[in-house]
């Protein structure tokens, strides 16, 4: 049973004759007759009988018609869906991201994706670098956001994101009361009580450790816990701007600006096992969106 046979059957019913159906389908009348005859072989009996000049359905044809039309409707819907997937307006994307990269640029990109392409389903999974890489190898995700640089030669770099790191403290912390740029980075570390060491990258961790000295009050915490400490008025931490911007805007915490403090960033790489040209259309839409979102930040 073929789609052309079902179409021929449907249009003979709608138009009442084989010749009209042939003209509508832009084929010869014998072709329509052959398609209906092949369909009747599959069904096991005659679908039409001639009544005057019109072709009328037999009882068998009446029983088969709603299912034939349902099948045609499903095929049309399927073809439309396939075209939408091909255009990148429908589909699904599975993405892995770091627990510390779920706000800011990432969340704004997801929001814009949802608004622009509501028929693309987004599935987000979080994990640390190695977990995300394993999810890529297992086929569990299509793209991953991991710390840069990475050293897996078979991963393809699709986009590189730089996130600014800020030294922050609670508004009531003593160091927050000191006039901007009237203190040094060394004084920040010495007066943090404690200084909260966070691991964003090898580079940022090395920078922090070069300012730590023996006997200094320090504690090493995950970024989310470090933020909670700072929010409660305990210590100073180096945190991403996206993680703390709302609290800075509300006045809960303060960005510290010691003298001669050079900007520090952490880099996040969007990677895949496939190069950009081989990505599914929906994944290309996400890539386009995160690039444009980065320009808007």
Mean pLDDT of 57-67: 92
- Spell out the residues 6+ positions from residue 18 whose beta carbon is closer than 8 angstroms to its own: 12, 29, 32, 33, 36, 55
What domains can you pick out in the chain, each with its CATH number? Answer: 3-87 (1.10.10.10), 91-161+267-296 (3.40.190.10), 163-265 (3.40.190.290)
Cβ–Cβ contacts within 10 Å for residue 175, how many? 20
pLDDT of residue 262: 87
Question: What distance in Å separates the CA atoms of residue 220 and residue 70, rounded to the nearest whole number?
Answer: 63
Nearest to 281 by CA among 60, 85, 105, 94: 85
Instruction: For residues 77-99, give the mean pLDDT.
Output: 81
pLDDT over 80 at 61, yes or no: yes
- pLDDT score of 166 more than 90: yes
Predicted confidence at residue 296, as pLDDT, reads 67
d(CA 67, CA 65): 5
Three-class SS state of 159: strand
Distance of alpha carbon 80 from alpha carbon 90, whole angstroms: 10
Note whether 284 and 276 are within 8 A (CB): yes
Q: Which range in 29-33, 180-184, 235-239, 273-277 is most confidently predicted, on average pLDDT?
A: 235-239
What would the pLDDT profile of 201-238 be if each residue is shown by its tens digit? 888 999 999 999 888 999 999 999 999 999 999 999 99
Q: What tens digit of pLDDT does each residue of 244-254 get?
A: 999 999 999 99
Strands (E), the chain: 48-51, 54-57, 91-97, 120-126, 143-147, 156-170, 195-197, 218-220, 236-240, 253-255, 264-272
Residue with tokens 């570390």: 189
| CA-to-CA separations, 228 to 60, 166, 169, 233, 257, in angstroms, rounded | 73, 15, 11, 9, 21
């Amino acid at each position: 049973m073929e789609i052309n046979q079902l179409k021929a059957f449907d249009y003979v019913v709608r138009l009442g004759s084989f010749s009209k159906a042939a003209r509508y389908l832009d084929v010869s009348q014998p072709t329509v007759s052959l398609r209906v005859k092949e369909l009747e072989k599959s069904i096991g009996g005659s679908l039409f009988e001639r009544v005057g000049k019109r072709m009328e359905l037999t009882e068998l044809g009446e029983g088969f018609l709603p299912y034939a039309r349902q099948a045609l409707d499903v095929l049309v819907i399927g073809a439309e869906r396939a075209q939408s997937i091909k255009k990148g307006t429908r589909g699904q994307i599975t993405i892995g991201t770091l627990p510390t990269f779920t706000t800011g640029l990432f969340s704004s990109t997801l929001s814009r994706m949802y608004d622009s392409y509501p028929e693309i389903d987004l599935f987000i999974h979080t994990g640390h670098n190695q977990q995300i890489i394993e999810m890529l190898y297992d086929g569990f995700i299509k793209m991953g956001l991991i710390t840069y640089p990475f050293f897996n030669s078979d991963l393809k770099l699709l986009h590189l994101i730089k996130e600014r790191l800020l030294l922050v403290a609670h508004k009531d912390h003593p160091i927050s009361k000191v006039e901007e740029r009237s203190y040094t980075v060394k004084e920040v570390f010495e007066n943090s009580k404690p200084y909260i060491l966070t691991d964003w990258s090898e580079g940022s961790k090395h920078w922090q450790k070069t300012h730590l000295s023996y006997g200094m009050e320090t504690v090493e915490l995950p970024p989310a816990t470090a933020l909670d400490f700072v929010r409660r008025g305990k210590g100073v931490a180096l945190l991403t701007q996206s993680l703390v911007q709302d609290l800075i805007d509300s006045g809960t915490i303060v960005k510290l600006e010691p003298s001669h403090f050079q900007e520090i960033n952490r880099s996040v790489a969007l990677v895949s096992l496939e190069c950009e040209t081989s990505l599914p259309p929906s994944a290309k839409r996400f890539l386009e969106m995160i690039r444009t979102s980065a320009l808007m930040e």
